[in-house]
Homo-oligomer: A and B are copies of this chain.
Amino acid sequence: MLEAIFAPRSVAVIGASPDPDRLGHQVLKNIVQHGYQGRIYPIHPRASQILDLPAFPSVLHVPDPIDLAVMVIPARQVLPVVEECGQKGVQGLIVISAGFKEVGGEGKALERQLLETVRRYQMRMVGPNCLGVIDTINRLNASFAALMPNEGEIAFMSQSGALCTAILDWSKPQGIGFSRFVSLGNKADVDEVSLLQAWNEDPHSKVILAYLEGISDGPGFIAAARKVTRNTPVVAIKSGVTEAGTRAASSHTGSLTGSESAYEAAFAQSGIIRSRTMSELFDLAKLFSYQPMMQGNAVAIVTNAGGPGIIATDATERSGAVRMATLTPETIARLQRDLPPTANVYNPVDVIGDARSDRYRVAIKATLEDPGVHALVVLLTPQAGTDTEEIARVIGELAATYGKPVLASFMGAMSLGPSLKILNEQRIPNYTFPERAIQSLASMARYLEARQQPEPEFVHFEVDRERVRQLFDRVRESGRVELGEIEAREVMEAYGMRLPRSRLAQSPDEAARIAAEIGYPVVMKISSPDILHKSDIGGVRVGLADATAVRDTHELIEYRARKYSPQARIWGILVQEMVRKGREILVGVSRDPQFGPLVAVGMGGIYVEVLRDVALRLAPISRQEVASQIRSIRTFPLLRGVRGEPPADIAAIEEVVLRISQLVTDFPEIVEMDINPLVVHNQGEGAVVVDARIILA
């Protein structure tokens, strides 16, 4: 997939220029000089030869087939040329030219036409408005970057071209290498989803990094990422999350930026490792691309100094994802035998300041051979007599043997130059300070844990979808967007929720008859499409215990409703079972413009209002996700039961959330809804939707 872009057999550079100051020259030169093996066709209206290659006035003049065309021409010239490319049978386009959506107005229209042409000829396109694409596997540098990156196993995509430049410049002397390097630009066609799909199971990429400012197709992104992350770790940094950042992002690439919490949920549900800073992004890239995956979460630390050992131990315990390994008695005996008596043979293993490579060898071998150790971090402070280069060599040699990730933190710089080079050559990620090594391992452990979860299981309930469809149609026909209480009840019923028994009464006597059937006490509520805030007008009364009370209340509520709004259509007075006490839950849905329905769960009342204690997931929600969602609210202990209370019916809450997830997935027109409260009884006793509100688009 996307072969034409990453592995074309021939490339045309449209706008190739003989003038070395022009971008079109730079792009052609990059393709020529970095070892690309396919055929290269400079396209230029007049030149007959550029950089020793025969040039052509257009792609249509090229006698052989062209897989990829790279455009470095002014925006207004792009369309006819793309048309020619289509006719020529070109399959891939990289449009470097700027002047499209990002400039607004005319540019926007131009980009729409461009995309339309691309689609018509079934081509694929990167850009417009990008730095280009680099593929080190095929040695294709189809960009105007000043540098060719080192070869490596990191696949990188970025929505910011300047960031690409900076990353290339920064990575080169660090020895960090890339397999593919893509500047997404305006991502009119090829976007983050296309690249995730293209790079799934790519044998040349051990990790995928993404710098994103906005996501074009939220649900598609989640679906693609769910798949990819089961094979390949994806680390993403999402910018433009805060309000001010969003403003900057919008003015930058005109992309629509989703709300922070939707991203949080999307990344978590799809198994993407979210990085908060650029440093962290590359800390992880080094670890994932250089070292094998951990097979557990226990870390051993070997150090030649106490202080850094403590720093690393602290970072480990604080991580919440990795822990200090407990060494076996055999390992400890071995270390005691082979290390001097002053050494600390427990984890962190301290080989002491005067240690040379022989002692490091003993400690590294013993810890890596310990079955209870899943990863090793080797710390070094340069002291008198420390043979840093030899130690670096020993680490590389032993790391290759055991299939466990090994990380280094050689602390210093002045005296470490050569040893840092050796570490990098042997693919041992090194971190100037130990905390970052540990934090990277912790992310790896979290990724591993997520990947080991069973495939998400999506439940499908038997529901009466058609009934809801018709109801929504009726509501819309009546010109409303908010459903009345009875309508909301009907939707809940159609999707299998338990509701308090209730019926509409048209007179005091009928109310009393219904109440007798339902059983006392009952609740009574005005039912009118024109009265939304029922409580405010005294239109709700609870705990009515006998027929007299019910009759009186019917009369009173009706009187109040008429007084409040003489024109109001009154459907009757609802007489409802009074739900016995239970724990009150809120289940709410809002619709994120990029990712779709975001479902919130929390304890009702002040827990939600004051403590904002809700957990969010994007629908569709899997069985596993709803379980973790409910368990992640801070007040979950109140559901599990404190002070000897029995547990609440958590399974019933899960089911309600899953049914809501199905409802809002079936009906994208629901822009907002909440169940508040869902009254949850003790384990095995179910949950009842007492009140629900639904708003359509």
Binding site for B on A (CB under 8 A): 26, 144, 146-147, 158-163, 165-174, 211, 213, 237, 239-245, 247-249, 251-253, 276-279, 304-311, 313-318, 324, 344, 348, 353, 381-384, 411-416, 432-436, 606, 609-611, 634-635, 637-638, 642-643
The reply to whether B304 and A413 contact each other, CB–CB distance below 8 Å, is: no
A279 surroundings in chain B (CB, below 8 A): 432-433, 435-436
The reply to whether A310 and B240 contact each other, CB–CB distance below 8 Å, is: yes
A162 touching B244 in the complex, CB below 8 Å, given contacts A606-B638, A606-B642:
no
Can you name the residue of chain B whose Cβ is closest to the Cβ of A323?
Answer: B244
The reply to whether A162 and B353 contact each other, CB–CB distance below 8 Å, is: yes
A383 touching B252 in the complex, CB below 8 Å, given contacts A146-B415, A279-B435, A642-B609:
no
10 residue pairs, one from A and one from B, having the closest CB atoms: A160-B307, A162-B305, A169-B412, A242-B317, A166-B411, A245-B314, A252-B306, A278-B433, A166-B381, A277-B435
Question: Measured between alpha carbons, how far is A432 from B280 in the docked complex, in Å?
Answer: 12
How far, in Å, is A581 (CB) from chain B's closest CB?
16
Q: List 26 A-B contacts (CB under 8 A).
A: A146-B384, A159-B307, A160-B306, A162-B305, A162-B306, A162-B308, A163-B381, A165-B305, A165-B382, A167-B411, A169-B381, A169-B412, A213-B307, A239-B310, A242-B318, A244-B313, A248-B309, A248-B313, A251-B306, A252-B306, A276-B435, A278-B434, A279-B433, A279-B435, A610-B638, A610-B642
The reply to whether B638 and A248 contact each other, CB–CB distance below 8 Å, is: no
A324 surroundings in chain B (CB, below 8 A): 244
Can you name the residue of chain B whose Cβ is closest to the Cβ of A102?
Answer: B306
Question: Measured between alpha carbons, how far is A163 from B443 in the docked complex, in Å?
Answer: 26
Can you name the residue of chain B whose Cβ is closest to the Cβ of A23?
Answer: B384
Question: Measured between alpha carbons, how far is A276 from B436 in the docked complex, in Å?
Answer: 11
Question: Measured between alpha carbons, how far is A606 from B583 in the docked complex, in Å?
Answer: 14
Q: Oligomeric state, in number of copies?
A: 2
Question: Measured between alpha carbons, how far is A158 from B253 in the docked complex, in Å?
Answer: 48
The reply to whether A309 and B165 contact each other, CB–CB distance below 8 Å, is: no
Question: Measured between alpha carbons, how far is A170 from B432 in the docked complex, in Å?
Answer: 8
A306 surroundings in chain B (CB, below 8 A): 160, 162, 248, 251-253
Question: Measured between alpha carbons, how far is A304 from B606 in the docked complex, in Å?
Answer: 47
Pick from B248, B310, B411: contact of A248, CB under 8 Å: B310
Question: Most chain-B Cβ atoms within 10 A of its Cβ — which of A168, A310, A606?
Answer: A310
The reply to whether B249 and A162 contact each other, CB–CB distance below 8 Å, is: no
Question: Measured between alpha carbons, how far is A306 from B161 in the docked complex, in Å?
Answer: 9
A313 touching B414 in the complex, CB below 8 Å, given contacts A353-B162, A610-B637:
no
12 additional contacts (CB under 8 A) given A160-B305, A169-B382: A146-B415, A147-B414, A161-B305, A162-B305, A163-B411, A166-B305, A242-B316, A242-B317, A248-B306, A248-B310, A248-B313, A252-B309
A634 touching B611 in the complex, CB below 8 Å, given contacts A169-B412, A253-B306, A306-B248:
yes
Can you name the residue of chain B whose Cβ is closest to the Cβ of A342?
Answer: B103
A249 surroundings in chain B (CB, below 8 A): 310
Pick from B159, B384, B436: contact of A277, CB under 8 Å: B436
Question: Measured between alpha carbons, how far is A147 from B416 in the docked complex, in Å?
Answer: 13
The reply to whether A170 and B248 contact each other, CB–CB distance below 8 Å, is: no
How far, in Å, is A407 (CB) from chain B's closest CB?
15
Pick from B242, B307, B432: contact of A314, CB under 8 Å: B242
A252 touching B635 in the complex, CB below 8 Å, given contacts A165-B382, A279-B436, A642-B609:
no
A239 surroundings in chain B (CB, below 8 A): 307, 310-311, 314
How far, in Å, is A258 (CB) from chain B's closest CB?
14
Pick from B173, B278, B305, B411: contact of A170, CB under 8 Å: B411
The reply to whether A169 and B413 contact each other, CB–CB distance below 8 Å, is: yes
Question: Measured between alpha carbons, how far is A324 from B246 in the docked complex, in Å?
Answer: 13
The reply to whether A278 and B637 contact each other, CB–CB distance below 8 Å, is: no
A412 surroundings in chain B (CB, below 8 A): 165-166, 168-170
Question: Measured between alpha carbons, how far is A316 from B248 in the docked complex, in Å?
Answer: 12
How far, in Å, is A644 (CB) from chain B's closest CB?
12
A167 surroundings in chain B (CB, below 8 A): 411
Question: Measured between alpha carbons, how far is A171 from B411 in the docked complex, in Å?
Answer: 10
The reply to whether A245 and B383 contact each other, CB–CB distance below 8 Å, is: no
A415 surroundings in chain B (CB, below 8 A): 146, 169
How far, in Å, is A22 (CB) from chain B's closest CB?
11
The reply to whether B310 and A416 contact each other, CB–CB distance below 8 Å, is: no
Can you name the residue of chain B whose Cβ is closest to the Cβ of A307?
Answer: B160
A606 surroundings in chain B (CB, below 8 A): 638, 642
Question: Most chain-B Cβ atoms within 10 A of its Cβ — which of A170, A211, A382, A436?
Answer: A170
Question: Measured between alpha carbons, how far is A121 from B245 in the docked complex, in Å?
Answer: 63
Question: Most chain-B Cβ atoms within 10 A of its Cβ — which of A239, A315, A606?
Answer: A239
A169 surroundings in chain B (CB, below 8 A): 381-382, 411-416
A243 surroundings in chain B (CB, below 8 A): 317
A166 surroundings in chain B (CB, below 8 A): 305, 308, 381-382, 411-412
The reply to whether B163 and A277 contact each other, CB–CB distance below 8 Å, is: no
How far, in Å, is A99 (CB) from chain B's closest CB?
11
How far, in Å, is A612 (CB) from chain B's closest CB?
9
How far, in Å, is A236 (CB) from chain B's closest CB?
13
